[in-house]
Amino acid sequence: DAGVIQSPRHEVTEMGQEVTLRCKPISGHNSLFWYRQTMMRGLELLIYFNNNVPIDDSGMPEDRFSAKMPNASFSTLKIQPSEPRDSAVYFCASSGGTNSPLHFGNGTRLTVT
């Protein structure tokens, strides 16, 4: 099992540019989560999907952030336009059900200058 795969591992971009982060969940997992981690706030849930349907996006900071899950094996998180305060590590995680633990990818470190 390859685990949750995220790309890119690192992204450096200039303020105002569009950024797209990608995630491939573990095969057979029906829930997918996007988290953001910073030193100050720790891990924060941005949005999650069940069976490819967005369930709760209340953690998405603002309209500049959007996420899609077109099929069971792929999800994207897009920031447009990006701002320096978006700099953080973004994690994707998947799980096989409500009481199943989350399996995290190794994250995308985003730096916006």
User: Which residues contact another protein (rule: CB under 8 A)?
Assistant: 4, 31, 41-45, 48, 50, 55-56, 91, 93, 98-99, 101-107
Q: Dihedral of CA 12/75/65/41: which sign?
A: negative
Residue 103 near residue 39, CB atoms below 8 Å: no
Q: How far is the CB of 91 from another protein (least distance, A)?
A: 5
What is the C-alpha separation between 42 and 75, in angstroms, rounded? 22
Of the two residues 15 and 55, which places its CB atom closer to another protein in the complex?
55
Q: Shortest distance, CB of residue 93 to another protein, whole angstroms?
A: 7
Backbone torsions φ then ψ of 14, nearest 5 degrees: -95, 150
Contact criterion met (CB below 8 Å) for 22 and 73: no
CB of 74 to another protein, least distance (A): 18
Residue 31 or 82 with smaller CB distance to another protein = 31
For residues 30 and 76, which CB has a smaller minimum distance to another protein in the complex? 30
Q: How many CB atoms lie within 10 A of CB 15?
A: 12
Between residues 72 and 102, which has the closer beta carbon with respect to another protein?
102
